[in-house]
């Protein structure tokens, strides 16, 4: 039997044969009425452990996860190691409710801390479950069933609330996916998308220095939708490039208007969040060409990327910086490798994550981390923005720590364009 050399568990080829045999038994009626389920489990923190603690530590983590699965599953259950950070469990002759219960129990078991680099560390895991009842559709092959469980696992990662998702009928899912894709494309072309703007304030002068542009969908039936309601759809259906282009182009228009003397509101910059596809789909080159043609003041557009993207692609946006754009690392401090990639990535601004800011002044460790990041920024000649500021007490503490800029509900929520202009004009 083909086995994964690291964990000693059956590998993907062996799993495919097991699933094919189980599906064939159902097709001949031997398992009619019983449920066949395939659970795919990803050790989501695998790459971050590799980056932070090294290759050997991540391999120890995978071996320990495989051992833990073997220990808790009943004898005779097929467990396979089908990818670098991915396991699969084949469950036969169980009810749907029982399969979900087993899946959640396995995820909870794997989420209990492992020893990584000698220290206990909680690990994030995600699961996808694909069902087939007897000889009924939808899964006609082992490969199709595995793909469905993978798809459900990715959906669970996008949703974030529940770490286990169940695959839909692939034919119904594809039809629904195409309908949603066309509806989102229509929203982009029919001007249903809008940008709201959240001011970034200088803590000493209280002047509005800039604004973060945040996309919203003004849906005719559902009302104003926030990004989490449609960005996963854009990423899943390949429309994220079109959406990024609309956001950047709209923000550029406002930046041209608001960063020139005599503007209705005078800002130093506007920042926009972009996806990794901004680079991969050629939007980077389009943006640079648009900047050259539009004679935008230097530094008037900031591009925000997340830590996770920076971990994956550390140098992709350096050519953008060379053309006068500013590069901002969003949610800084939430990843294992934040300091590691600062050695390689020349950023202009760090945005300290709201989880630290929410406890600044009350939690000694959080306050110490913020102070450390502020001191580090001075050494690196990098600007800092504190995100998620909600109270006057947080403002005062940040001033005492030497933080110069902040944004959050204390100053203003993200505002529609007209309200943003009015609010800033009055300050």
pLDDT in tens, 88-133: 999 877 776 788 888 888 998 888 888 876 777 778 899 999 887 6
Return the pLDDT at 28: 45
Residue 150 gets the label, from left (phi > 0), alpha (psi -120 to 50) or beta, of alpha
pLDDT digits (tens, 9 = 90+) for 315-361: 556 666 776 778 888 877 665 445 655 665 677 898 988 888 988 98
Domain membership flag for residue 2: no
- Is the same domain home to 268 and 327? yes
How distant, in Å, are the alpha carbons of 184, 190, 193, 373, 408 from that of 219?
10, 11, 8, 40, 25
Helices (H), 335-383: 338-342, 354-357, 364-380
- Is the same domain home to 231 and 289? yes
Contacts of 174 (CB under 8 A, 6+ apart): none
- Is the same domain home to 157 and 256? no
- Is the same domain home to 192 and 163? no
Calculate mean pLDDT across residues 272-281: 74
Lowest mean pLDDT among 56-70, 247-261, 296-310, 366-380: 296-310
Determine how many CB atoms are found less than 10 A away from the CB of residue 10: 22
Query: Token pair 């895991």 is at which residue?
Result: 125
Q: What is the DSSP letter of 416?
A: E
400 versus 353: the higher-pLDDT residue is 400
Tokens of 366: 């959080």
- Is the same domain home to 207 and 319? yes
- Is the same domain home to 88 and 150? yes
Number of domains in the chain: 2
DSSP 262-329: T-SS--SEEEEE--THHHHTSHHHHHHHHHHHHTPPTT-EEEEEEHHHHHH-SSTTHHHHHTT-EEEE
- Is the same domain home to 117 and 187? no
pLDDT digits (tens, 9 = 90+) for 45-81: 887 787 677 778 888 889 999 999 988 887 778 899 9
Domain membership flag for residue 396: yes
Tokens of 77: 């259950």
Domain membership flag for residue 1: no
- Is the same domain home to 116 and 225? no
- Is the same domain home to 146 and 205? no
| Domain of residue 399, CATH code | 3.20.20.450
pLDDT > 90 in the chain, percent:
26
Domain membership flag for residue 275: yes
Instruction: Identify which of 168, 117, 405 has the alpha carbon closest to the alpha carbon of residue 269.
Output: 405
Calculate mean pLDDT across residues 238-255: 88
Among 144, 168, 192, give the residue marking a domain's end.
Answer: 168
Return the pLDDT at 157: 78
Tell me if 269 sits within 8 A of 294, measured CB to CB: no
Among 118, 139, 168, give the residue marking a domain's end.
Answer: 168
Domain membership flag for residue 173: no
Longest C-alpha distance within the chain, in Å?
79
Calculate mean pLDDT across residues 390-403: 95
Tell me if 408 sits within 8 A of 390, measured CB to CB: yes
- Is the same domain home to 164 and 59? yes
Domain membership flag for residue 325: yes
Contacts of 76 (CB under 8 A, 6+ apart): none
- Is the same domain home to 264 and 127? no
Domain membership flag for residue 67: yes
Calculate the CA dihedral of residues 424, 297, 307, 364 and round it to 10 degrees.
-50
Q: What is the DSSP letter of 227?
A: G
Domain membership flag for residue 417: yes
Calculate mean pLDDT across residues 277-294: 68
Q: How far apart are CA 105 and CA 97, in angstroms?
A: 12
Mapping DSSP to helix (H, G, I), strand (E, B) and coil, where does residue 123 land? coil
Among 136, 168, 200, give the residue marking a domain's end.
Answer: 168
Range of the domain at 190: 179-426
- Is the same domain home to 101 and 185? no
């Amino acid at each position: 039997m083909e086995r994964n050399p690291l964990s000693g568990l059956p590998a993907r080829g062996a799993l495919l044969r097991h699933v094919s045999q189980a599906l064939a038994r159902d097709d001949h009626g031997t398992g009619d009425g019983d449920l066949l389920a395939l659970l795919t489990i990803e050790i989501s923190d695998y790459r971050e452990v590799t980056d932070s603690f090294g290759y050997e530590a991540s391999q120890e983590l995978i071996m320990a996860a495989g051992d833990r699965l073997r220990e808790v599953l009943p004898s005779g259950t097929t467990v396979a190691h089908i990818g670098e950070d991915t396991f699969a469990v084949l469950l036969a002759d169980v009810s749907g409710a029982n399969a979900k219960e087993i899946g959640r129990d396995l995820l909870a078991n794997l989420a209990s801390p492992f020893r990584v680099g000698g220290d206990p560390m909680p690990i994030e895991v995600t699961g996808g479950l694909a069902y087939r009842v007897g000889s009924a559709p939808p899964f006609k092959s082992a490969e199709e069933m595995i793909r469905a469980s993978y798809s459900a696992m990715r959906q669970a990662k996008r949703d974030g609330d529940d770490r286990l998702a169940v695959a839909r009928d692939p034919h119904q899912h594809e039809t629904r996916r195409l309908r949603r894709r066309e509806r989102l494309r229509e929203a982009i072309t029919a001007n249903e998308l809008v940008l709201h703007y959240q001011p970034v304030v200088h803590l000493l002068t209280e002047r509005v220095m800039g604004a973060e542009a945040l996309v919203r969908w003004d849906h005719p039936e559902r009302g104003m939708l926030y990004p989490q309601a449609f960005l996963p759809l854009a990423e899943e259906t390949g429309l994220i490039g079109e959406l990024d282009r609309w956001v950047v182009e709209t923000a550029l228009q406002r930046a041209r208007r608001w960063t020139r003397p005599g503007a209705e509101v005078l800002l130093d910059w506007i920042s926009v969040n972009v996806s990794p596809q901004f680079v991969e789909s050629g939007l980077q080159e389009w943006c640079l060409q648009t900047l050259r043609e539009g004679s935008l003041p230097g530094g008037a557009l900031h591009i925000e990327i997340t830590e996770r993207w920076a971990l994956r692609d550390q140098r992709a946006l350096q050519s953008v910086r060379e053309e006068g754009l500013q590069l901002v690392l969003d949610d800084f401090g939430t990843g294992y490798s934040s300091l590691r990639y600062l050695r390689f990535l020349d950023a202009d601004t760090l945005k300290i994550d709201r989880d630290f800011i929410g406890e600044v002044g009350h939690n000694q460790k959080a306050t110490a981390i913020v102070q450390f990041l502020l001191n580090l920024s001075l050494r690196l000649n990098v600007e800092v923005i504190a995100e998620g500021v909600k109270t006057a007490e947080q403002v005062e503490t940040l001033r005492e720590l030497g933080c110069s800029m902040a944004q959050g509900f204390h100053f203003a929520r993200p505002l529609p364009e007209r309200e943003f202009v009015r609010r800033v004009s009055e300050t």
